[in-house]
Structure 1
Amino acid sequence: METREQLRYRPDRLPAADAVDRSRSLLEAMRRRRSVRYFSPEPVPDELLRNAIEVAATAPSGANQQPWTFVVVADPQLRGLIRDAAEAEERYSYTGAVTSEWLDELRLVKAHITEASHLVVVFRQSHRVGQHGAEHQNYYSGESVGIAVGMLAMTLHLAGVGLLVHAPPPAKFLADLLQRPRSETAFAIVSVGYAADDCVVPDLPRKSLDEVLVRK
């Protein structure tokens, strides 16, 4: 078993009052987060997007395998192909399997894919290839990538950028269109961009803390 060098770790520790103030500010900022479906054509700066992905890539992962790949798609033609395939696959997956009311809620028209400044397609690496072509499983890859996507969403929101996370059905087309190896499976399509001036979002309630917090 590989032995890793151990580094002394002393995270910054704030005075209790300052820490509470910082957590309160973060809470207020995140309470304003909403999924964006109507985007401005204004491009998101490349460095901002790169920094957000680098933050996401600091997420904890099972056995530190870091089982993620972030594919940034800016090309309009390629995004059009992704949108066409996503809409077709989702209609095929859901038609006949759910009620017409739920189909309306699923919003099978994915205009945000072509209207956003960029797409970030996040892939989960189920395994890695070691020496001599041997395959090794990545542990808890789904959970690890989910945490990374959450960190990406938080970072973009705090930078004033809107986003919509779309978790597609099997979506093999994404690996084909983006030329990813068979060890990678599409986990999420993240549409990234500034909200349009006339952007609206539904007034959806969030569960209260009492509904989600259990103390023992």
Structure 2
Amino acid sequence: MKSATFEHENGVKNGADEHLQRIFRLENVNLTVKKGDVICLEGPVGGGKSAFIDAIVASVNCTSGSVCVHELTSGFGYVPQTPWLQRGTIRDKIIWGNVFDEQWYKAILYACALNEDLELLGGDLIGIGENGRTLSGGQRARVALARAVYQNKKIYLLDDILASLDAHVARHIIRILYTWSVEGEDTHCGDTQCIVILSRTSDTPYRGWQGDTKPIYVRKC
């Protein structure tokens, strides 16, 4: 992104029958993400972090400046704040219509800390109901993350996915996926770009763990 400005209209209720249109704007945004980079964007609730993700995926209008995304044809691995799951089995939700690769699938279950949950639930072929209503918030988040990782994309956008997880589970996920993204050893995920979005400003799983090869770049908004 170079000197990019984005605008989005929000409908706000004003009284019983009237609505006002308020414009939310991100101005003069400059960001360069190179292959293998992990970017952690921190800021308060309502600071525009999710809007920034919307800008990357073209959900809001770019009114000036430029946005250039390489290897866009393969799409993004995107996990929103509120996981979206359809009715079906857990395996179906992770594979999402792709060919079943057992070795890769098992690696993802481990990376997303789902093995213990699947044992308690009775396996990955159990149905989870519409929008995953039979799962906890943390389980829904990790299934949605596993689905994104299974797609093997070059760019991953993760919007506050660890907020509902215990600290030790969050650290495990970050440690594994970070290593995959920058090293790619024995995985499909080498040399990915990953932007991680946070709503908290301190005491996050990303702080205090910088990996062995490349740092996690923390930027505030």
TM-score w.r.t. structure 1 length? Answer: 0.28
Larger Rg: 1
1 or 2, which has the higher helix percentage?
A: 1
